[in-house]
Amino acid sequence: MDHYSCFIDNEWVEASSGNRVEVEDPANGKVWASVPDCTNEDADRALESSHLAQKTWALLPPVERAGYLYKIAEGLRAEREHFATLLVREQGKTLEEAGFEVDDTVRYITYAAEAARRLKGDVLPSDAANEQLFIFKVPYGVTIGLCAYNYPLALIGRKIGPALVTGNTMVLKPHEATPVTASEFCRLVEKAGLPKGVINMVTGKGIGLATRLVSSPVTRLVTLTGSIAAGQGVAKAASQNLAALSLELGGKAPFIVLRDSNIDEAVEAAVIARYANCGQVCICAETVLVEEAIADEFTDKLLKRAAVVRPGDPMQNAGMGPLTTKAAEIRVAGLVEESVKQGAEIALGGGRPGGSGFEAGNWMNPTVLVNANRNTVTVREEIFGPVLPVVRVADYDEALDIANERPDGLSAYLWTKNPTIYMDAVQRLETGTIFLNKGIVGYIQGYHNGHKLSGLGGEDGEHGIEGYLQKRTVYMRYSA
């Protein structure tokens, strides 16, 4: 078994309790690594380290801070294969997908570093003579990065890049199921020579450790990628000290296909957007809403294309790996079972794959449900797994109504050749991201955010970087 440590004040440390958390391989259920199960005392040490480092770090020129980020990115690029293998072992995505995640992480960090010369404020005219009005943008201070298990490395890059280039320090807390890549990432931090305390990292199970980090008076901003329930818990814990929040939470992306769409292209996009990373992507296609006039043709082609996606050993198979946790497998299987009781039918997949290699681990077949409706549980709740319910709708208006009646709004897909409809969707579809005649994608220069219960703030691009800065207004009188 491989043993990994936490990273506090540029030192590799164990939990003060001496306890550890075991890490399982999602493909076979075997324990292959362990990390410290940190205590509140360990969290306080990390916070104090980040607090002491932040003032000096913020005074460095942005391009100097960026230099450290470039070194981390170079380290990741040089060890692409190593980090990809770690991602497969602890998260379960295919080796190809894991390599792409390493590449994305490099891009996130590099983009943030490149922004060092583009950080800017405002100069405004004063109402009085011999005066000037400035609005500076300054760091918050100590930030907390809470990462989900679906992209354990990319989410680190997505958070630490903007946080550090803007002069903040950060305490990272990875998900308990996927902490190994975070520990190895900090090895690159050490190698890059960052001043002590700029990045700290603690690991542990349960919500107690995260609550301690979030509720501390030292913490001035919290960035979380996780479920809606997790976001609500973080908001409550941060409320006493009114820490700023950036919450990228769950969603239930509708995949709307209208009669004038290119059906073949829409099918291909739907399959990729559902079964990528075993369906564990916050902007995955969660429900197909297909217009009745083309529903038969679309569904037939969808079933044939989805049948090509094969689960298998993620180190060897380019199809689909397992779900990351056993709890996820049980939950998703339960949603399918309940949907069938409600009248939906399994048209493809369902259950675990059989045969050699699937005796253990968190496996599930790529699944398509038909005869679902707006009240089916897999249509109401976020699945976050390889299950795609298909709902027939009369027209665009019904699809829009189903999409907008939800309390969340992270992303949506719309396939149509009618410019009037997709311009209407831009105005009325209540989500943070809309993919118009486009499959799943996320460009670093864009902006990733949710509406309604899908979150506060956002990440990526210049708007994401600005989220790590607060404003300071200065009224300057320069002559008596």
Active site includes 359? no
Rounded to whole angstroms, the Cα distance separating 50 from 173 reads 13
3-state secondary structure the chain: CEECCEEECCEEECCCCCCEEEEECCCCCCEEEEEECCCHHHHHHHHHHHHHHHHHHHHCCHHHHHHHHHHHHHHHHHCHHHHHHHHHHHHCCCHHHHHHHHHHHHHHHHHHHHHHHHCCCEEEECCCCCEEEEEEEEECCEEEEECCCCCCCHHHHHHHHHHHHCCCEEEEECCCCCCHHHHHHHHHHHHHCCCCCCEEECCCCCCHHHHHHHHCCCEEEEEEECCHHHHHHHHHHHCCCCCEEEEECCCCEEEEECCCCCHHHHHHHHHHHHHHHHHCCCCCEEEEEEEHHHHHHHHHHHHHHHCCCCECCCCCCCCECCCCCHHHHHHHHHHHHHHHHCCCEEEECCCCCCCCCCCCCCCCCCEEEEEECCCCHHHHCCCCCCEEEEEEECCHHHHHHHHHCCCEECEEEEECCCHHHHHHHHHHCCCCEEEECCCCCCCCCCCECCEECCEECCECHHHHHHCCEEEEEEEEECCC
Q: Which of 90, 248, 459, 466 is catalytic?
A: 248
Q: Is the distance from CB of 370 to CB of 344 less than 8 angstroms?
A: yes
Q: Which of 186, 282, 329, 382 is catalytic?
A: 282
Q: Is residue 434 left, alpha or beta, with left meaning phi > 0 and alpha meaning psi from -120 to 50?
A: beta
Q: Cα separations (Å) of 475 from 120, 128, 389, 470?
A: 17, 10, 58, 17
Rounded to whole angstroms, the Cα distance separating 43 from 36 reads 12
Rounded to whole angstroms, the Cα distance separating 14 from 171 reads 16
Active site includes 282? yes
Q: In what order do the strands lie in the sheet with 31-36?
A: 2-3, 31-36, 20-24
- Catalytic site positions: 248, 282
